[in-house]
Amino acid sequence: MVISCLCAPLGPRDLVVLRQHRVNLVARRDQLLADNLRLSDRETRLRSDDAYLQRLIRQELGYARRDEFIYRFRDPSSH
C-alpha cells in the first residue's frame, strides 16, 4: 500500500515534478510580461517621440541630415 501511494501516478513524486513545472511556468510568464512591457514602451516611443525615431534611423540605417558630417573610423583590429 505504501509503495502504491509513493509510486502511483498522482503520488508525491509527480507532485514535486508538477511544482517544479509550475515554478518554470511562472518564471517564463514573468519574463514574457517584462518583454511585453519593454516592447510596448518602445512602440509608444516610436509613435510619439521624433527624437528617438531619428536616433534609431541614424544608428541602424546610417542616415544623416544634410548639414551633418559622418566620421567613420576603421577598427584597429581589422588590419
Residue whose C-alpha is closest to residue 11's, from 2, 20, 22 = 2
Task: For residues 51 and 57, give the distance between their C-alpha atoms in angstroms, rounded to a whole number.
Answer: 10
pLDDT score at 27? 98
With beta carbons less than 8 A apart as the criterion, state whether 64 and 58 touch: yes
pLDDT digits (tens, 9 = 90+) for 13-54: 778 888 999 999 999 999 999 999 999 999 999 999 999 999
DSSP 29-75: HHHHHHHHHHHHHHHHHHHH-HHHHHHHHHHHH----TT--------
11: enclosing H helix or E strand: none
Q: What is the pTM of this model?
A: 0.60
